[in-house]
Structure 1
């Protein structure tokens, strides 16, 4: 990797000179696909509460503060398009000009099988080289602004070994998000009986209209489950990726893996019983459920403990649900009992497949049924595509 590293590093030097002299809106052509400028002027419906104004990317509405148990501070996010690299590497670095406090540059990497890493701060290495990356720029605080961002993909030092979350399942307290008509952290407008979840860290926030980060959330009895995308950040905290090991956890590194800060604060008086914003924690919630997940998927009647799998931290074949919420059946046919739902866009694990009832769905007519868990099956006619390889027959 010596030659590629020299190539992209020299490209950054050229970008630094150009960025210092040229506004982002008039950036020159980058010297290679591993060095480029962020286009800060192209705002679309993937972006949240940002605007290009008077020569900088800024908060669009300084008065827009999230509702409920989400962060009590104004924020915004610009999501750039995925960027293919000329040379697969494991790190993206960023150089900003005209940046105030409250400007963060984060990225994620896409593996050849289509799966994405978690979002990570620019300058931090991924666990493996990737052929494509995606960058987002996060503004926190009403006055946050940045004029230009230059980016370079390089081969950085490998991260410490053994720090993966490894697909663990944790029992956490779930609350109902509600907030119909509100806007989530990824720009989704919340509908009645909606199907998504919120986690208290942006590291697992899926872009709008995707299930790149999907959870399986089940009742503690295992009688009902739902696969749902992560489309919001909360409750209580915004930097509490409690499903990750302590060494890579954003905050609260002294807590055991799988224990949300809000739970520790509520049950044990951790951090003086307060969240990261100094608010008194009123419940131990580690996940928020949209109404459709809460009432229909899990058939809950009150806030409750649930078992959650953070599916992007594991491995294996994933099927993308193209039309949902889709019934999860106890067997390979529509006459079998419903065991819950798979939401639209959710990426569900396909352990293997069996032959069952013929079903005509939006993606064809087939007798294939995918096993997504013990005693859990979905018709493949509702699966729009897969990542992570090909599933075997059971």
Structure 2
């Protein structure tokens, strides 16, 4: 847990600049202690990526650490603060910064009681519902990016329109998948890539899960549906870093004129969109909208070359979720280990539990049980490997 005591918060607030900027800001209104608090910028842990407190500011730790491959050619860093409980429910967090340079972005996400995390959103943007817990992260882009202090203020404001008609799987699109590789490199959330690793990369931080969590998980399947993998989003890319193409145009971070589900790189490659270039001016050499860790690519989907796949962005959906505590775990065609494997569920992945059936007894790390969870049509996991669930209780099938 990060803690930082700042004496005289009211004094600190004088002259702060608001992020994101709107009009000339005044001091934030007084709030309860838990709804107005300073960010612990001086506390950097293993969950953070390429940032350090140096002198009087949070800065990039290694200016030479430019991401590998088709990720951003610009050095970046990420400070992820511990979740913060609010005294009263709210649906907006504003950020007030001091001595912030260009390239400093404050983002947050929220969680209602007993619910799932929202997508990461810029500070100052309203969520669709009130939440009781929030988490802050500070992103630095560019080797000179720095910020001295951040004070957060949570409040209730008119909510953003809720997404309509979501199924358990959430938004689904067919996109081109490439193999990430890069064994030994560090992902955008600080994970060091291992051989045959089970994670994916998407071209926006909005769906980036903190290290060793599956808060943002995709279900990626071959177009025939014969193989699927549930895997956490642990990296940003390919090509772009602000392309949350799975979201509706109205809330899409960039390229709002493209239809939902169409990555900018795909439009650039196929149609010459943006002059055939990505956001950094690089010529797009393939239409990739998702990168697959080698374990997902080779073992989960049994791919031998880059390919079109069907992707469900599960955090945009609803319903009961189970966390795979020990994996990669075989997805079975029925409620027993003798049934054919249909793919994998990676460690930390959050899988939708539609209902459960009684089947073969399995002794796993979390229980010995005959319960098998149905996570899709003809897809079952032993509940002995599910470490926790959210969103309520699943019914019997």
Q: In the aligned structure 1, how far is the partner of 2:15 from the partner of 2:267? A: 49
CA drift at 1:164: 8.3
The two structures have a TM-score, normalised by structure 1, of: 0.93
Counterpart position of 2:363: 360
8 Å contact from structure 1 (residues 165, 244) kept in 2: no
Taking the TM superposition and a 5 Å limit, the aligned residue runs for 1:12-31 are 15=9, 17-20=11-14
Secondary structure in structure 2 of the residue aligned to 1:95: strand
Post-superposition shift, 1:159? Answer: 1.6
Matched, 1:209 2:212: yes
The verdict on how the C-alpha distance between 1:369 and 1:161 changes in structure 2, with shifts beyond 3 A counting, is: closer
Q: CA deviation at 1:163?
A: 6.8
Which secondary structure state, in structure 1, belongs to the residue aligned with residue 33 of structure 2?
coil
**Alpha-carbon shift at residue 21 of structure 1 (Å):** 9.2
SS of the residue 1:46 aligns to: coil
Please tell me whether the aligned partners of residues 47 and 187 of structure 1 are also in contact (alpha carbons under 8 angstroms): yes
> Superposition pairs for residues 337-376 of structure 1, below 5 Å?
337-376=340-379
CA contact (8 A) 1:163 1:248 kept: no
1:206-251 deviations in Å (ceiling 9; x for gaps) = 0001000000000000000000000000000000000000000000
Using the alignment, how far apart are the partners of 2:11 and 2:243 within structure 1? 37
Query: 1:359, 1:371 → 2: CA distance?
Result: 15
**CA–CA distance in structure 2, aligned partners of residues 393 and 62 of structure 1:** 53
Counterpart of 1:229?
A: 232
Equivalent residue number for residue 329 of structure 2: 326
TM-score normalised over the length of structure 2: 0.92
Quote how far apart the aligned CAs of 1:15 are: 3.8
Aligned residues: 374
Counterpart contact for 2:166–2:318, Cα < 8 Å: no
Per the alignment, residue 291 of structure 1 pairs with 294
Matches within 5 A, 1:128-147: 128-147=129-148
- Kindly tell me: are residues 192 and 276 of structure 1, through their superposed partners in 2, closer, same or farther at Cα, counting changes over 3 Å? same
Structure 2: runs of 5 or more not aligned: 1-7, 17-30
Aligned counterpart, 1:47: 48
In structure 2, the residue matched to 1:200 is 203
Q: Tell me the CA shift for residue 277 of structure 1.
A: 0.3
Moved over 2 A (4+): 14-22, 160-166
Cα pair 2:68 2:182 within 8 Å, conserved: yes
Aligned to 1:4: none
User: Which residue matches 2:269?
Assistant: 266
SS of 2:384's equivalent in the other structure is: helix
Unaligned runs of 5+ in 1: 1-13, 23-29
Matches within 5 A, 1:1-394: 15=9, 17-20=11-14, 32-162=33-163, 167-394=170-397
CA–CA separation in structure 2 for the residues paired with 1:292 and 1:161: 35
Assess, with a 3 A threshold, how the Cα gap between structure 1 residues 21 and 185 changes in structure 2: closer, same or farther.
Answer: same
Mapped contact 1:16–1:150 kept (Cα < 8 A)? no
Say whether the 8 Å CA contact 2:238–2:288 is kept in structure 1. Answer: yes
User: In the TM superposition, what is the alpha-carbon distance from 1:348 to its structure 2 partner?
Assistant: 0.2
Asked whether the equivalents of residues 20 and 97 of structure 1 are also in contact (C-alpha less than 8 Å), the reply is: no
1:120-145: CA deviations, max 9, x gaps?
00000000000000000000000000
Q: From the superposition, tell whether residues 382 and 291 of structure 1 become closer, same or farther in structure 2 (CA, over 3 Å).
A: same
Distance 1:130 1:252 in 2: 29
After TM superposition, give the deviation of residue 18 of structure 1 in Å. 2.3
The answer to whether the Cα contact below 8 Å between 1:206 and 1:231 also exists between their aligned partners in 2 is: yes
